[in-house]
Structure 1
């Protein structure tokens, strides 16, 4: 007869034991690196909140996995108990129960009203600290209020399905969470089926990405707990139900699809000298001057009002977008090129949407009207004002290089720097930065003024760089040809 023990009393190679546990987590089925082995991991806890890792391998997954559901209580007997090698330990768990087709599992009626497990959640405002660091992950708590369209993406000749879900916290901050493949097929379907009831999730071991400033994504060892029986989740659901009107307004405004500086901008934001910005960086912050008086351009493109992708549709005409598949009117969107410069160098960048209109002081519609009337925008005051200002700019590299092989960038965010802001705080860089002779020569050439060295001479003209019919990232569009001071040539 087996002895009923607690998790802490069960040792490797022990026989004739039983333990009553609750399933806290159920991960997706994953492949073992470099082997054909498939595995699925679980986290179990007992009445004293002690935890142990459960694992099922290969053919046993299909048979045994459906018997273990999150938040339910089971009596497990005589699983194979092993020590986990230190390099494979996660969550501080040192022992592993291997569940096989021989393991005895019996569901126990009744479960705790509140799961006696403590979580440490990362606040939305702190997510930027973990961005694009594969060695770090976060646990978050949020209520799911909406979802974006499902997409199929091909990476390394393999197709993957992904769908973004909108998470909201009690501070009314939103962040997008991408669910991939099995996460989308399993927990994602639960969320979609229960969206109207404000499902609350705990996302465990999520990765922080730089999409729209800050976003979240599932990873191979992530776990999603939908409506977990913990006090914080119930409080958040009650808050959501009380604030249904506010949530409806957030969904209607769709501000969550735009860059959110509140989540990625810090008052003491560190910056990098332009000469040290490299294309392999996912994003970079620079403190720079903006100039574009030497670049003759169109300042707008026609776009889908839903997803901002470029279109050949005429202004105001309802059409079905080839990118987002949504039907809506074609609308002009502001877009133009600038040079970002500091004392160390210059890089070309493109700016879009509201940010572009704020710098230009004209709307996209006004820019389009001037273009259609064969009139240049009166920008002398804007150019003069920009010479006296410095901006804190968040940039990301784009895949398409200029024809002279220089990397170009998209401006994600920019704000004027007050004079007392002082010098840029360098991220891991010395006060005196060493610049290569080649870089120094290029920078001097770019910074020169006059016929021989203006940016308009160095940079290729727009007619050589951009084709409005082509599109890339939703925040990074190629403009149509614009390389003449006459509309006839612009067109």
Structure 2
């Protein structure tokens, strides 16, 4: 059956027509883009061909074979943009009409000169012939052409000219009509507008376009989208001085996503008015390539708002724009995901560990909490919460699990880590949704309640085994020595459940410098000089010092005992009061009875110790130093679930 493509559709699109919904043929498909996959088509209307870019949300059409080379498609939504001085059709939506088809017509690359020619040719499409003067009837002699040649009376159907060859009359022997040639009008210089008043600007509102159609070569544009995430206000300092920045993510009705970033004075304009979940009309921003190290959205561009940018709240709710967009992957699929890739995952929270402090490389402390998710794929995975996630959603999840309720957790934009197994971690743009109200969550809840709770699962994360990863692993005291923990280049981090059997009370704290060095407290030991304190590091004298724990304690479990050191925060967790209070009690008030009661009340208490183990040099001797990073009261409910999971894994092996 013959196929008729829409004639001249490419020319019409280049001329501004975006409503005709033409039928075109895909002549070629190429995958382009280094940071983001994009497909470039060569489309044909059987007369002309033109390059077209496929919107990223349509990439699956190519990957799944719904459109391929030779397919006849109908363009539903599309625009024509100028990119690097070339016009390119951006396809936002399309339908495949015929999947496989032989090439139709003999098309050629479209040129803008064709568009110009179409606009200048008269409607009758007829050329204007030269005027013929003094014509005589056939066989009667000659006729004269102004500046032409001679007419052959023996062959009245033709005449010759010096430069143009032979002309044949359309109907020899008949009377030739007289035609007036087209004459180009003389050149007229453009009018001078100088001092004739200001030229009016086009103040009409910009046309709303889909996010997928945005590119940096457009002039005036506007997008209508919902804010799905808003980052914290961050301050920075570089060679150009101090500054501040924040970003937010947008989602439109076509599923397009893009990040918007504001700096300095623009932050003051928009930070307070941007709310997650609200719909805004945004225009007059600049587009720059997205920094994929920090921007996980599937868009190669990022919007930077400027002083002239506008952000208007849409007061009427637009139900065509979804609240959030997920691309969920089963936990079993994450096992093959690339390291540092960004994924959406949904699962049942089956365990939550306590939050622990972690010292970052920059010297700043943050919080970390680890929980486990399982889903219908028969796999489970560790999810690591960082920073504020530990105290907000993390604490709420722990309270739920502690009372025996296992909630559904949806993770938007988690980062895959492949250190000794696969795990997922939060990043600043991650969003957590506890017991969300959508179909995937309801299906997961129904599966779990109807038997999935007792279904066997295999963890794709780090296993608790000798020679495996030692980070976030429960160990016994004897294993610390037997497995040689702390003797490698990097420290080992383990969790030990043990009792405190002895606390040194003669040197439990020290006098510390309270001065700030940059954004950190000095904390070096100071010595008393009269009524003042001297810090050798800061080379200053101060009126008052700080008191910080340096607690030496012995801990013991069923396998053995060892010495540990607890500094300020972990010392307060063990003794239950600030170091200064205990110092004053012992040395200023000299209340040895009360001091002794506090120390004895902590002996033989059981804690869950988070330990850092590292070999250090003392004089000429290498010693393994064990530092208490955190000391938590044992949560017997969580600990029992951990032991049951350990037993279950042992049986599966």
TM range (shorter): 0.3 to 0.5
Q: Which has the higher contact order (CA 8 A, sep 6+)?
A: 1
TM-score under structure 2 length normalisation: 0.35
Structure showing greater Rg: 2
- TM-score, with structure 1 as normaliser: 0.45
